[in-house]
Chains A and B, each alone.
Chain A
Amino acid sequence: MTHIRNVFNAGYAELHGLNADPNTVIKIQGLVKEMLETNEHRQRRIYQELTEEYQAFALPGVISATYLFIDQLGNSRTRDMLAGLMVTLCANNTAAQRLLLRSGIVDNPFEESRQVAFAAYQALPTLLLTDEDSAWLLKKARQFATTDRHSAVLLYELLLKQSRGYKEALDDCRTWFAGPYETSAPSALMNALLRYYPQEIEATLTRLFEAIEEKDTEAGKNIKREVRLPDLTALKPAIAAAAARLKQQETRNSRGSKVKAVEFFFEGAVADQIAQNADQIATWSDIVEQYKLELLSRYWWQALSTAVKTPTSGQSELKSYIEQALPRANDDFALWGYIQLMFLANPHHDKKSGGVKAWATQLLADLLVSNPDVYQQATKQYEGLNSGNVGGDGPKQGPGRQVGIKSSST
């Protein structure tokens, strides 16, 4: 909505494209070039001239300057400066925001320039995306999904941020994960889905697990590295989605058969949240325990083990939690904690983990005294896992793991 006095304000209906008024575009490009090369005092003067005198009319020139002077956008300082300028020029101006979206992001053939415009768009305090813009953007995103995944992710992020396009984004994301894994676009889109649709995390992850199981373990490895949960509250639906998937698996297959997608997800996204929120992890651990699912317990402890090796400020808190939780926990749940400690205490394992190995060794010694039955059972399982006779594994050990798998099949 626009106040009637602003009907003729800069940029209201004039900003159709980048080249409509080449004289202004060229003048602005000259100012941007000077801004990129001059001292801070002059930079401030130019910034002021652009934002106060030209206002939104400067935007086409600023956008096109980003692809004329790509060579000078190598460092984040210049990129941030131009993105900041775009944000100021677009604030509370529908026409300017539309131009930034269409010409700066969607139709911009220059990757570096598109990134600057995208950063600006993301930083806008208020987005004025109309229904018509959204419909157009969604159409473009779907087109890009088959030709240019990075562009599709950019557009979907914009839509998801505005609470639009969830179904289409999830469909495309699922298709990408179910097919050969290319670049990091599938994970980037998954992260956007998890971030902007927290109420759908369980459904989203369920589709993700299905898709990965369908096809490609490469994709699974990538989710360990690339997929991340937005915050700690996302753990609850994530655990629920994993539990549902594992329950399905336990019903269908023999005990012990792994669900790699869930395992990778726990070692990546879940471990990351644990490492960041060690002080609150007891609650979540209780939730996992209540599910009474062997694989879920196992992956949870794998995630805890990964987190405890991560040198964060919460590392000691996490160690304390494990020290207190293991003696108290239900034996079935605790079993996988013991096993992970054995991996951590392994003399050939993770030499760089510093104090973790010594800590695990000491804790295991204490547990042997307090609960010898579980300890014995864990030792048996651990040896089985280490020799490859049991389906499953502990923390990854690099190339050696491939040898182990190969021996098992002969």
Chain B
Amino acid sequence: MTAYGIDLGTTTTLIARAYAGLGTETINADIMPIRQKIMRNGAFSEINIDYMPSIAHFPHEGGALVGSEALTISVSEGSVSHSVRAVKRLMGQSFLLPEPINRTAADISALYLTHVLRGVSFSSRDELTVTVPASFTANQRRDTLQALQTACRTLGVALPDAKIGNLLISEPVAALLANLAEDLQLAEPLRRLNIDKSPLVLVYDIGGGTLDLTLVKLEWRNPAHPKNLSNLYFDVRELNRYNQFGGEDFDIEVAGKLLTHFIEANPELEQLDLTDAEVQQVRFSLIDAAEQLKKSINEELGFALPGESITLSFTLPNPITLREREYGFTDWEISSQDYETWVAPFLTYRADPRNTLYPIESLLARSDLSLNDVDYFLLVGGMARFAPLQTALQAAWQRDTGFLTTTAPHQNVAKGAAVYSFLKARSDQFGIDEPAADAYYVRKSDGFSLLLDRGSVSEGDKGEYTLTGEGSDLRLEIFAGESPETTNSLESIYPSLVYQGSVLVPLGKKYSQGTKVWIQMLRKREDYSKMPSLKIWVNTETNLVSTISYNQLHGKD
């Protein structure tokens, strides 16, 4: 058995493996290399890389390509409309991406999972965990599970039903697990987190496309038992709503600046009207260039003194071919100050979810807390490596201690997922009880009714309703949104509701208008994938006509 963890990220996918450490009860985790093709001297050759770009390309002929090979081809002329990236942002939405892709986000995620699992010769004996943002709704979790099931089917690996409910873990909790696994390997005085004090930890996980905040209270389950991960109780107190904001947003913002310079350097482009495919090609190329600029600036800042501005000479890494002519620019002098000015709307406080500081305030406000009440601030995720972001968050933290970063924050999530797999394999009973980020509502003819509150509750109230007309099928339309507890009236949460899908419930026979119906939503405590089910009774409270799993919900029948 090998314990694997996969970080299925918006911009990159990583796989890690966990194993028993040297000391008793310690667990190590390593990032596994992923075999990919890269372009060298005009030809593709295979090498191992410790991450895979979450990009897929669908050539005119042959099978789909993923990772570095897809990235290289995607920015070449005429290929971009056959490529797709950042599909994680589309999980939970059941539409097909336009031709020629013609696949759902879950289908494309399955390709990434297949590639990385094939690389480690994954088998049914192994244990696996895939990470999702803590704030993913049930729809998004369902799609992630479907992607994993598709990948296993492709690989011919059976996925036991008993495991399905426990395959997903939230990214911030995984990152915290990885940090704790490392910390617990150290002698007690050297540990960065003092769990004896039952600390409150704010995990700030900013990846390529998602900013995920989780507030966790850590406690020993039994202080008398060995102080290891199995004895640790994770009390997840607060989650932010799914926030589609991350490194890619920085890159898009900067790519806009690169575009302006690109046009200035090639004024003849002003005369061109671009096709949709050309628009995509320019976008892809400039976003890719912006990402490289971000990395270069970050590297240079690593050698600079605190507060010092650096300047580098930036050349567009890959010329953009339009109408069989290459365009680019060379040696543009860009300072780190320029860069920070460009992304200032994200780094300087603004009451907007697409800001690095505001979500902290809004999350803590839900529990009437401030940053002063938090004991540790753990910064993880791919974007956590970005020095200007670290500086902005450290300034907000206002303390010399308790601000935790790691040397490879972009690897923490995958490693933590592997650690989780290891712990699951060691004990069937192991699990971390994470609440759902959203409450669930059903639409009625005169508004909405709460089915299941956010948090860890396993059963919603059994609500009583009446049929609005005569019929033998009942249509239920499900929405997710804020908890009514955080507001004064149910109506005031209406703007927070997002449609999740509908289900047609066969009632068994025709019932008349006014017949009573009872509906209850349940989330099984042991099902960590956070996918509730629905129970429906009709006519009498004992006449259960249907139990519907969340997988049966659809956007439109």
Contacts and interface: CB of A to CB of B under 8 A. Distances in A.
A25 interface: yes
B408 interface: no
B374 interface: no
B90 A16 contact: yes
Contact of A16 (B95, B263, B498): B95
A151 to B, nearest CB: 10
- What interface size band does chain A fall in? 35 or more
B259 interface: yes
A64 B555 contact: no
> Do most interface residues of chain B lie in helix, strand or loop, or is the interface mixed?
mixed
B244 interface: yes
Contacts of B477: 109-110
Interface stretch (B61-69, B182-190, B268-276, B385-393): B268-276
Contacts of B99: 132, 135-136
B280 A64 contact: no
Given A3-B273, A19-B498, A22-B241, A8 B259 contact: yes
A67 B280 CA distance: 32
A18 B499 contact: yes
B275 A1 contact: yes
Contacts of A2: 273-276, 279
Contact of A8 (B92, B256, B494): B256
Given A5-B270, A16-B95, A17-B93, 13 more contacts: A1-B273, A2-B275, A4-B263, A4-B272, A7-B279, A8-B259, A12-B283, A18-B499, A21-B244, A23-B242, A26-B495, A68-B479, A132-B98
6 contacts: A2-B276, A3-B274, A21-B244, A23-B242, A23-B353, A109-B502
Contacts of A24: 353
B498 A26 contact: yes
Closest 6 CB pairs of A and B: A1-B273, A23-B353, A30-B495, A17-B93, A29-B495, A21-B244
Interface residues of B, number: 47
A68 B497 contact: yes
Contacts of B115: none
A33 B494 CA distance: 9
B56 interface: no
A102 interface: yes
A20 interface: yes
A103 B241 CA distance: 23
Contacts of A108: 556
Contact of A18 (B93, B269, B275, B283): B93
Interface of B: 89-90, 92-93, 95, 97-99, 241-245, 252, 255-256, 259, 263, 269-270, 272-276, 279-280, 282-283, 286, 353-354, 446-447, 477, 479, 481, 494-499, 502, 555-557
B159 to A, nearest CB: 27
A69 B259 CA distance: 40
Contact of B90 (A12, A20, A132): A20
Contacts of B481: 26
A273 interface: no
> Which of B353, B495, B497 counts the most A-chain CB atoms under 10 A from its CB?
B495
A94 interface: yes
B424 to A, nearest CB: 30
Contacts of A40: none
A26 B259 CA distance: 31
A71 B89 contact: no
A107 interface: yes
A12 B279 contact: yes
B556 A109 contact: yes
Nearest to B272: A4
Contacts of A67: 499
A4 B95 contact: no
> Which of B242, B479, B497 counts the most A-chain CB atoms under 10 A from its CB?
B497
A99 B243 CA distance: 21
A64 B273 contact: no
B269 A4 contact: yes
Contacts of A358: none
A32 B244 CA distance: 21
A5 B283 contact: no
Nearest to A94: B276
Contacts of A130: 276
Given A16-B97, A17-B93, A33-B494, A107 B354 contact: no
A22 B500 CA distance: 12
B244 A23 contact: yes
A13 interface: yes
B496 A7 contact: no
B555 A107 contact: yes
B282 A68 contact: no
B483 to A, nearest CB: 14
B283 A8 contact: yes
A2 B269 CA distance: 12
> Which of A21, A135, A136 counts the most B-chain CB atoms under 10 A from its CB?
A21
Contacts of B286: 7
A2 to B, nearest CB: 5
> Which of A27, A98, A109, A135 counts the most B-chain CB atoms under 10 A from its CB?
A109
Nearest to B95: A17
Interface string A56-67: 000000001101
A7 B95 contact: no
> Which of B242, B272, B354, B494 counts the most A-chain CB atoms under 10 A from its CB?
B494
> Which of A4, A16, A71, A136 counts the most B-chain CB atoms under 10 A from its CB?
A4
A31 B212 CA distance: 25
Contacts of B256: 8
A22 B90 contact: no
Interface string A100-119: 00110001111000000000
Contacts of B272: 3-4
Given A17-B95, A71-B446, A107-B95, A29 B496 contact: yes
A340 B228 CA distance: 100
A109 B498 CA distance: 14
Contacts of A26: 241, 481, 495-496, 498
A115 to B, nearest CB: 16
Contacts of A18: 93, 498-499
B365 to A, nearest CB: 15
Given A7-B279, A21-B244, A1 B95 contact: no
Contacts of B495: 26, 29-30, 32-33, 65, 68
Contacts of A4: 259, 263, 269-270, 272, 274, 282
Contacts of A136: 98-99
A72 to B, nearest CB: 10
Given A12-B279, A22-B241, A71 B447 contact: yes
Nearest to B266: A4
Contacts of B95: 16-17, 102-103, 107
A4 B264 CA distance: 12
> Which of A20, A29, A68, A94 counts the most B-chain CB atoms under 10 A from its CB?
A68
Nearest to A31: B495
A19 B556 contact: no
A27 B494 CA distance: 11
Nearest to A128: B276
Nearest to A107: B556
Contacts of B98: 98, 132, 136
B15 to A, nearest CB: 26
> Which of A16, A19, A21, A135 counts the most B-chain CB atoms under 10 A from its CB?
A19
